[in-house]
Amino acid sequence: MKIRKFLYSQRVAPYVFVLPFILSFCFFWIYPLCSTIVMSFQDILPTRTEWVGLKNYKKLLIDTTFHQAVINSFQYMLLTILLLIPFPMAFAVMMDSRLVKAKGVWKAFLYLPALTSVVISGTLFRLMFSEYSTGQLNVITGILGLGTFKWLKVKATGLFALVMVCCWRWTGVNMLYFLSGLKSIDGALYESAEIDGASAIQKFRFITIPLLKPTTIYVLTISIYAGLAMFMESYMLWAGPDSPNNIGLTIVGYLYKRGITKNQLGYGSAVGLVLLAIALVINVVQLILSGTFKKEEK
Amino acid sequence: MKKKLLATILSVALTASLLAGCGSSASTSGADNAAGTDVATEEETGEDAAAATEEGEVAEGEAAPDAVTTVGDPNGTHMEMWSFVELHNTFYASMLEKWNAENPDRTIEITFTTYPYADMHTKLLTSLNAGTGAPDFCDVEVGQFPNVVAGVDTWLYPLDEALTPYAGDLVQSRLDVYAGADGKHYGAPTHVGATVMYYNAELLESYGIDYTTIKTWDDYTAAGEKLKEASNGEVCLTSVDTAGVDWLWLAMSEYGEDWTGGFEGPANVQLESVKNMLTMQQGWLDSDIAMVSPDGHVDLEAGFQNILDGNIASFPKALWYMSRFLNYMPEEAGKWALAPCPIFEEGQPRSVGIGGTGTVVTNQSSDPQLAADFIAYAKCSEEGAKGIWETLGFDVCNSAMWTDESITHAPNNEYVKFFRTNPYDILNEVKDEIGKISVVAISPTINEQMCNVTLNDVLENKMDVDEALQAAQDVISLEE
């Protein structure tokens, strides 16, 4: 009888339903987070662990390689945001328009890269960007009369390669987000705008963009985090966390290098926490500026 | 009643779907990333191994990342062995059969597992740290060795006693590569990795250059000038590396220097040898005698292509690079010759040992003494050395075999057939000149700084050598 009462209790039910999530959240997120915080104040040596206070953080302040990694991640994040919001939005609008034929095919084409393994695509991109004269891009620039480039050895072209891999991979995914946003816009709005004599550009500017704002904010938020936390693309493009003059080193790449390759888990933890702090601050500021929190208050 | 039953079933279904929802939402949003990383650790490593391990026949490790086989006497002591190269395991298995036949009272059964390169080293470190789950034996790549040997006695079982029967014939400097801070030896070496000069004799002859007359770096530079003129600048004498330190190791060995400073430290990269080598290389690049190795060094796809295209006529590399010719450049058969490396001044040693795999015995082994005895037999006895040369094509550490012409000059050996000179003739010639650069805790940091920054600055961006080395020293000192 008690069990039945428990099962039918309205007060308990919500907790029962969220329990699986809470448990997995605690086990896989809260616990590692706490132990990362603890570890960032330790030197974890083979066979023993020492408390070192703020040593790891002090070292981060003077570690120029880490600074380089932060700068790289920022530049990458900014570039991906600049490219991965307008273009997917434009593609989504095109996919939603009546003028485009064979939409399914286009959508599939754009989404396909997201399904391929970064390991394989990264390796292929690495070979394409090879500095040797037979590398695919050097063949193309050769035909165009531009000569050959050392793509993955120079900062500008290295960043270009990274952003290209990223756009190639994520354009389709972001397009789908925008597409689902577009589907929720009431068609009647466009009709009435048309009756009022609005042009296509005006409709896009005054109906589509404002009504897509929630989607845009969502895409922006995940893009900021994904940009800062990027690892795989750079790891695959340079076949490891090392790149010439560290042009491809990202924060997570540095974390991997310190924590895993060099077995300095304490220092690696400090790097990870700095990444968390940076991503949190940027996203909170961004969400406040875009008014996301205000809406909830209403 | 029916209603209640229905309600119960519905709520169960709801909970189940919620749970399923949890799982799937996690895998779509947070991510794609998590899934991606998993795949990476499994697949990237094959690539990684090919690039980083500096050993032959890595392709096998790549093809079957998780091969597990059990070999030996089922009634003997059971042991576990991990490697990142399947061919190594195959070789140990063949030695195990011989061991069991010779030692009927101490038979062993071993389960061999081949993991991808990075996976295996991470797994080993984790299990050593945890104090449980480590295998009895494990192959450790020399670049990773400092991490593993950091736990000396608590993690590993010293092999000194087991190596005693063969010690007289073994190349001491190779054993010392796998020594711990306590002076004991923890790894059984696979090869010497003696660095020699690879010359494309056919190409050089066609331009009237005789590589055998090159004794010093000055001779080498002069040959480069001659080659440039004869070929109208189409063929470079060599390519210098921006992502590898072999040239610098060679220079250090010639001057008897060591940038790690050994176990005592401190590390110092501002050495005469390093400065001279880098300055000389800058000069070569300025006068177009040399080119920068495409993609950073010669042990990569682009490097192989560069050799195949006949763009470079020589380069220094350890003897294990022979297997790269057999595996990736079979068209080059009969063209290449091996020779001792040029030197800066008369009387300097002409080689250095580079790369390698040390097999360790962990303290978690069920019978570490037996394990040590077996691995010493398998890798360091004459019998083992013969097997290593024949199956893996390496310059073995047991020097007793070097003079056995029935093995080293065997006419049907594919390595003997491929090159114009016999690798063991060269090895015997430089026998007492093979230097050793220590691999200690600071080594990965030095390597990384050189390959990521310094060499690029000096060779690609034409930075002043002293300035670049000072910058490197500052970073390295910070890590000590």
Mean pLDDT by 10 residues, chain A (298 residues): 75 87 94 94 82 92 92 95 93 87 89 88 88 88 89 91 92 93 90 90 90 91 91 87 90 90 88 94 89 64
The pLDDT, as a whole number, for residue B34 is: 34
A229 — contact with chain B (CB < 8 Å)?
yes
Please count the structural domains in chain A.
Answer: 1
Domain ranges of chain B: 59-192+355-403, 195-352+436-479
**Residue B116: alpha-carbon gap to chain centroid:** 14
Residue type, B51: A
Q: How far is CA A152 from the centre of its chain?
A: 22
Tokens of B297: 């060094």
The number of beta carbons lying within 10 Å of the beta carbon of residue A109 is: 11
Our CA-based measurement puts residue A71 at a distance from the nearest CA of chain B, in whole angstroms, of 16
Q: Output the domain CATH number for residue A185.
A: 1.10.3720.10
CA dihedral over A203, A206, A210, A216, signed as positive or negative: positive
Could you report the per-residue pLDDT of B73-95, keeping only the tens digit for each? 899 999 999 999 888 898 999 99
pLDDT at site B8: 60
For chain A, strand residue ranges (E) read 42-45, 48-51
> Does the pLDDT of residue B15 top 80, yes or no?
no
What pLDDT, on a 0 to 100 scale, did the predictor assign at position A33? 94
Q: Residue-wise over A19-53: b if at least 16 C-beta within 10 A, else e?
A: ebeeeeeeeeeeeeeeebeebbbbbbebeeeeebe
* Single-letter code of the amino acid located at A149: F
Residue A209, min C-alpha distance to chain B (Å): 24
Which residue's structure tokens are 């949190």?
Answer: A280
Domain of A162 in residue numbering reads as 62-297
Residue of B466, B241, B442, B477 lying closest to A64 (CA atoms)? B477
Please state, in angstroms and as integers, the Cα–Cα distance from residue B406 to each residue in A173, B16, B409, following that order: 64, 71, 6
Per CB-CB distance under 8 Å, the chain B contacts of A157 are: none
Which architecture characterizes domain B195-352+436-479 according to CATH?
A: 3-Layer(aba) Sandwich (3.40)
Residue B328 C-alpha from the chain's centroid? 17
Distance CA B418, CA B327 (A): 11
* pLDDT confidence bin for B2, thresholds 50/70/90: low
pLDDT of residue B52: 39
Asked whether B193 and B356 are in contact (CB, 8 A), the reply is yes
Classify residue A204 by its DSSP letter: I
C-alpha B423/C-alpha B402 separation (Å) is 10
Please write the tens of the pLDDT for every residue from A26-82. 999 999 999 999 999 998 877 678 899 999 999 999 888 999 999 999 999 999 999
Considering only A175-179, B403-407, B425-429, which range has the smallest mean pLDDT? B403-407
| B27-45 tens-digit pLDDT | 333 333 333 333 333 333 3
Q: Which amino acid is it at B86? A: E
Distance CA A107, CA A114 (A): 12
Kindly report, residue by residue over B104-138, the tens digit of the pLDDT. 999 999 999 998 887 888 889 888 888 899 999 99
Question: What confidence score (pLDDT) does residue B81 get?
Answer: 94
Cβ-Cβ contacts under 8 Å, B302 against chain A: 130-132, 135
pLDDT at B54: 40
What's the CA gap between A133 and A142, in Å, rounded? 8
Residue bearing the bigger pLDDT, A262 or B197: B197
Contact check, Cβ <8 Å, A20/B19? yes
| B346, two tokens | 């008369």
**Whose structure tokens read 């209790």?**
A9
Alpha-carbon distance B453 to nearest alpha carbon in chain A (angstroms): 4
What is the model's pLDDT at position A118?
82
Residue A266 lies in a domain: yes
Residue A124 lies in a domain: yes
Distance in Å, alpha carbon of A239 to nearest chain B alpha carbon:
7
**Residues of A with CB below 8 A from B47's CB?**
123, 239
The CA-to-CA distance between both ends of chain B, in Å, stands at 75
Average pLDDT over chain B, rounded to an integer: 85
- Measured between alpha carbons, how far is A67 from A78 in angstroms, rounded to an integer? 17
Scanning the structure block, which residue is given the tokens 């890269």? Answer: A113
| Peptide linkage before B423 cis (omega within 30 of 0) | no
A108 close to B (CB below 8 A)? no
Q: How many CA atoms lie within 13 A of B395 on its CB side?
A: 28
- pLDDT for B30 equals 33
The predicted model gives B279-308 an average pLDDT of 93
Q: What is the pLDDT of residue B322?
A: 93
Provide the residue count of chain B.
480
Calculate mean pLDDT across residues B52-56: 40
Amino acid present at B401: M
Chain A residues in contact with B444 by the CB 8 A cut-off are 261-262
- Integer Rg of chain A from CA: 24
* pLDDT score for B173: 85
pLDDT at residue B451 tops 60: yes
Q: In whole angstroms, what is the distance from residue B228 CA to residue B207 CA?
A: 9
The per-residue pLDDT for range B327-340, each reduced to its tens digit, is 899 999 999 999 99
Structure tokens at A36: 């990362």
Lowest mean pLDDT among A284-288, B208-212, B306-310: A284-288
Chain A closest-CA separation from residue B40 CA (Å):
6
Q: Which two three-digit tokens encode residue B164? A: 């005693």
pLDDT, residue B181, reads: 84
* Geometric angle at alpha carbon B186, from B184 and B192, rounded to 5°: 105
Percent of chain B with pLDDT over 90: 60
A62/B contact by beta carbon, under 8 A: yes
A9 touches chain B (CB under 8 A): no
Both structure tokens of B18: 């919620």
Mean pLDDT of B340-346: 95
Fold equal for B59-192+355-403 and B195-352+436-479: yes
Across the beta sheet with B188-189, the strand order is B68-72, B108-114, B77-83, B137-141, B357-361, B188-189
Which of A62, A235, A245 minimises the CB distance to B453?
A245
B39 contacts A117? CB cut-off 8 A: yes
Residue of B33, B120, B186 to mutate, interface with A, max A Cβ within 10 Å: B33
- Select the residue of B18, B296, B302 nearest A17 (Cβ to Cβ): B18
ipTM higher than the 0.95 cut:
no
Q: Which of A16, A261, A275 to mutate to test the interface with B (most CBs of B within 10 A)?
A: A261
Which residues of chain B make contact with A239, given a CB cutoff of 8 A? 44, 47-48, 51
Give the bridge partners for B315, in sequence order: B198
On whether residue A194 sits in a domain, the answer given is yes
CB contact residues (below 8 A), chain A span 231-250, against chain B = 231-232, 235-236, 239-240, 242-246
DSSP B325-350: HHHH-GGGTTTEEEEPPPBSSTT---
In the DSSP assignment, the letter for residue B286 is H
Hey, what are B258's tokens? 């060591």
Fold topology of B59-192+355-403: D-Maltodextrin-Binding Protein; domain 2 (3.40.190)
Partners of residue B475 in chain A, C-beta under 8 Å:
64-65
